[in-house]
Structure formats: C-alpha cells, structure tokens
Amino acid sequence: MPPVITIDGPAASGKSSIARRVARRLGCTFVGTGNMYRAFTWAVLNRGIDPNDPAAIVAALPSITFECPVSDGETHVRLDGHDLTPDELNSDAVNAAVSLVARVPEVRARLVADQRSLISLGPLVMEGRDIGSVVFPDSPFKIYIDASEEVRAARRRAQGQADNLAERDRIDKQRKSSPLVIPEGATIIDNSAVTLEEAVEQVIAALRAQGLP
C-alpha cells in the first residue's frame, strides 16, 4: 500500500495549510477531509434538512452523489455534479452545522469508505479529525497539529468567518462515532507560536523520525 501521512487536529489549528505544503514538499496528493464533511453539510442545508435531525440526514444520503477529482496535486469536492466553491464550503451556515452532520455515524461510515478508496491515487497526505485513529490507524506516519483556542479563534476572525470553536471542539471530542483524539503513535506539534514554514519543517522532521524515506 502506498504510504499515507495522517495529519489530525481540531478546527483552525492550521492542519490544512500545513498538510497541503507537506504534500507538495513530498510529492504526495493532498486530501482535506474536512471539505468532504463540509460538502455533505452543504447538501443537507441545501435540501432544507435540519442538521439536528439525524434521521432526515441518513434518509438523504443515498440521493447525494459525491466525487473527489484531483487537480493541482490535491483532491477537490464535487457534489451532485456541482463543484463547490470555498465560499460555499466555508459559509457561516456550514461552519455552524458541520459538526452536527459529521457526528452522524452513517455519514462518517460513508465518508471513511470514500477516504480509504483514495489510496488508489498513490501516496497521500490526508488531514482531518480521525485519519490516524480511524481511517488509516495502521499508518506509521502520524501527526497531530494543535494550537490554543485563542490562536484558533483569531485565525477564524482573520478569515472573516464566524465559528464557535469551543462548541465544535466539544461536539467533535464527545461524539460517539470517531471522536477527535490524539492517534496512538502520533507526534504532537503545537502550531500556536510558529510560522507556517516552521510548522512544515517540524512536521517533515517528525515524519523522518518516524521512518519516512
């Protein structure tokens, strides 16, 4: 199996930016699984479904078509034949609902299967909240990116987004299906007070220490 580098962490920890640059440095395909959950959340909201209604969400799953085409070295999200834009994926409505949709076990089961199938693309750098713990638990290359709640909130504000990080953290860590945890064997990197390039260098060094050739 081609190597899979797993990068997990809470919302706004910087894991997506770090993972994207690590993938480019190593010549891997970057997979941002957060956008996959955001796409499903967008579909739920676009269908007028209450994100607090798991039964309605599950009922809608068979009607949602989902693709992850690769462009410029990373996967993108195409849902119901529509290429979702960053504005759609990161809207305030999606930010407020994504943890509610992502905690539905049937949603996670479907997307975990989709994420595992991406190994057919070759070596991956995949970031999310359960990649090293659930999606690819046997990978020897695991990183957990963290940052203080204050730093993460400031990043969201700088992006012009409204996001209740404390509530999202609570939901992500307490959900019964694939909760946010530090994967066994992961190297923890605090991204609160370093530059993006410094964080990338720390990740690369940690991966080399884990045996990445």
User: What pLDDT is attached to residue 196?
Assistant: 94
Residues 34, 130: Cα–Cα separation, whole Å: 10
User: What pLDDT is attached to residue 177?
Assistant: 82
User: What pLDDT is attached to residue 202?
Assistant: 98
Residues 163, 30: Cα–Cα separation, whole Å: 24
User: What pLDDT is attached to residue 160?
Assistant: 77
Domain ranges of the chain: 4-207
Q: What are the 10-residue block averages of pLDDT along the chain, 213 residues in total?
A: 92 93 97 94 96 97 93 94 92 92 94 96 96 97 95 84 77 83 96 95 98 93
**176-197 b/e with 16+ CB inside 10 Å = b?**
eebebbebeebbebebeeeeee
In 3-state terms the chain splits into helix, strand, coil percentages (rounded to 5) of: 50, 15, 35
Residues 47, 209: Cα–Cα separation, whole Å: 47
Q: Does domain 4-207 have CATH number 3.40.50.12240?
A: no
User: What pLDDT is attached to residue 206?
Assistant: 98
